[in-house]
């Protein structure tokens, strides 16, 4: 199903860039001999693998958003899962769950940075391998929560697909009854559908609020610690500030390209707001993060940034003359 030029090509371009930039970032981390990152290097590498996994799954299950009156719809826009099947619907639900993987990994980053600043013995004793495995399990739990909400509370059943049928067919020239869809219907439906939709979106919202709260609480504690900088050498303090700046940007980017678009999709239909360009751009924005993330980290870590600069010098007058 072709939606428009930007929706079709930008996520694919971002996917290609993600598989260029993230391996480059991993190489820089592995080959680096100067930055004293310790076990944090493993977390950064795991984030890059997560970025590539998200891009791969986005290519396998491309999403798009449709809004009609009091309902929002997330549907698969391209093969192989564009036509309805239980497997296809589960694939869509898991794809929605991948949105929260970024939040979960950032939780681990904030916790690690907080423990590192406080010189906690937990990092040395337990992070490898238990902390890294725990991070992986934590991410899987986040995906499972969102996928479960989509399957149990936001399943695209006959009543919901019927509600948006005419609007969806007029705009996309496809039958909603034969498409894989996640649908929230806030009003104008049966009690079971409406209540289930409200419960599902409430759970997703609560999960998001929890993530944002953890960022702000730990971020505030980290900033206070950096200002006091007790028992930290000048070199260590400088590196910690650079890492925190990079982590801040890593957090701001998904808030801008993932959280805000998701909130607009979730809550716009409650007030009958139909900003189609925002809803379409939300899907595009989500696909951008995996390729921007490594660039942001490299930029805020001068030790890595200097290694990717391409030296360029203007030819001298003598050289031009010859």
pLDDT tens-digit readout, 168-183: 999 888 899 999 999 9
Q: Is it the case that residue 266 has pLDDT exceeding 80?
A: yes
- 312: helix, strand or coil: coil
Q: Of 290, 285, 286, 268, give the one whose Cα is nearest residue 73.
A: 268
Q: Does domain 5-305 have CATH number 1.20.1070.10?
A: yes
DSSP, collapsed to helix, strand or coil, labels residue 75 as: strand
Token pair belonging to 10:
């930008």
**Average of per-residue pLDDT across 191-203:** 96
| Residue/partner pairs of 234-239 with CB below 8 Å, 24 or more apart | 236/36, 239/35, 239/36
Tracing tokens 């030790």 back to the chain, one arrives at: 303
Residue-wise pLDDT for 56-76, tens only, equals 999 999 999 999 999 999 999
Q: Could you give the angle at the alpha carbon of 262 between the alpha carbons of 256 and 267, nearest 5°?
A: 125
Share of the chain above pLDDT 70, in %: 93
Q: Which two tokens stand for residue 59?
A: 């290519």
With CA atoms as reference, report the closest residue to 49 among 74, 21, 72. 21
258 token code pair:
């993932």
Residue 229 has what pLDDT? 67
Considering the entire predicted model, what is its pTM? Answer: 0.88
123: which residues sit within 8 A by CB, 6+ positions away? 38, 39, 112, 115, 116, 131
| Cβ(212)–Cβ(259) below 8 Å | yes
How does 177-212 read in b/e, with b if 16+ C-beta sit within 10 Å? Answer: eebbbbbbbbeebeeebbebbbebbebbeebbeebe
């Amino acid at each position: 199903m072709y939606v428009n030029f930007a929706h079709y090509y930008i996520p694919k371009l971002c996917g290609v860039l993600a598989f260029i930039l993230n391996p480059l970032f991993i190489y820089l981390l592995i080959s680096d001999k100067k930055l004293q990152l310790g076990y944090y290097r493993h977390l950064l590498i795991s984030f890059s693998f997560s970025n590539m996994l998200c891009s791969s799954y986005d290519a396998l299950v491309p999403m798009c958003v449709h809004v009609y009156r009091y309902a929002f719809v997330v549907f698969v826009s391209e093969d192989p899962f564009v036509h309805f099947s239980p497997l296809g619907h589960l694939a869509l639900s898991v794809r929605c769950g991948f949105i929260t993987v970024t939040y979960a990994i950032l939780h681990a980053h904030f916790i690690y940075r907080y423990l590192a600043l406080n010189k906690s013995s937990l990092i040395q004793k337990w992070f490898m391998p238990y902390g890294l495995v725990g991070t992986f399990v934590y991410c899987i739990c986040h995906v499972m929560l969102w996928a479960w909400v989509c399957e149990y509370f936001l399943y695209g059943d006959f009543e919901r697909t019927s509600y948006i049928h005419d609007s969806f067919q007029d705009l996309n020239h496809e039958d909603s009854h034969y498409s894989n869809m996640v649908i929230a219907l806030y009003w104008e439906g049966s009690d079971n559908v409406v209540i289930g939709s409200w419960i599902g979106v409430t759970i997703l919202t609560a999960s998001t609020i929890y993530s944002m709260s953890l960022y702000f609480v730990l971020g505030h504690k980290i900033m206070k610690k950096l200002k006091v900088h007790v028992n930290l050498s000048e070199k260590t303090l400088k590196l910690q500030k650079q890492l925190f700046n990079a982590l801040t940007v890593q957090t701001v980017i998904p808030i801008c390209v993932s959280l805000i678009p998701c909130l607009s999709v979730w809550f716009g239909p409650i007030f009958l707001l139909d900003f189609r360009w925002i809803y379409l751009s939300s899907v595009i924005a989500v696909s951008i993060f995996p390729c921007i993330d490594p660039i942001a980290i490299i930029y805020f870590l001068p030790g890595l940034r200097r290694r990717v600069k391409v030296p360029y010098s203007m030819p001298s007058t003598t050289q031009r003359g010859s």
